[in-house]
Amino acid sequence: AQSVAQPEDQVNVAEGNPLTVKCTYSVSGNPYLFWYVQYPNRGLQFLLKYITGDNLVKGSYGFEAEFNKSQTSFHLKKPSALVSDSALYFCAVRETTSGTYKYIFGTGTRLKVLA
């Protein structure tokens, strides 16, 4: 069964510093991997995805993520954090081979960027 783990409930980082939000996954086949961001009382907003190919994928607002198959990880990164990046971040996985259609989400990581 597919699953996603986000080991940190909250990540604090100073503005201008690099940030990393961690995600590990478990699937039986090849994964599709995604990051979403959620602002208060809003739906989820798509940030980036990994389907195949280059392990480093770039997305919206300067975010990028690195796919590591051996470690089954897909960590979200940004070289220089902004206060406006403060939000709830969700990692999601979709299996490509099991016949299931659903995206499975992690429990979320709250990012706080301090001025």
Site string for other proteins, 1-20 (x = CB under 8 A): ---x----------------
Q: Which of positions 42-61 make contact with other proteins (CB under 8 A)?
A: 42-46, 49, 51
* Shortest Å distance, C-beta 115 to other proteins: 25
Contact between 104 and other proteins (CB under 8 A)?
A: yes
Residue with tokens 């590591």: 68
Angstrom distance (rounded) from CA 19 to CA 17 = 6
Give the DSSP per-residue string, 35-64: EEEE-TT--EEEEEEE-SS-SEEE-GGG-E
* Interface positions with other proteins (CB under 8 A): 4, 32, 34, 36, 41-46, 49, 51, 90, 92, 94, 96, 100-108
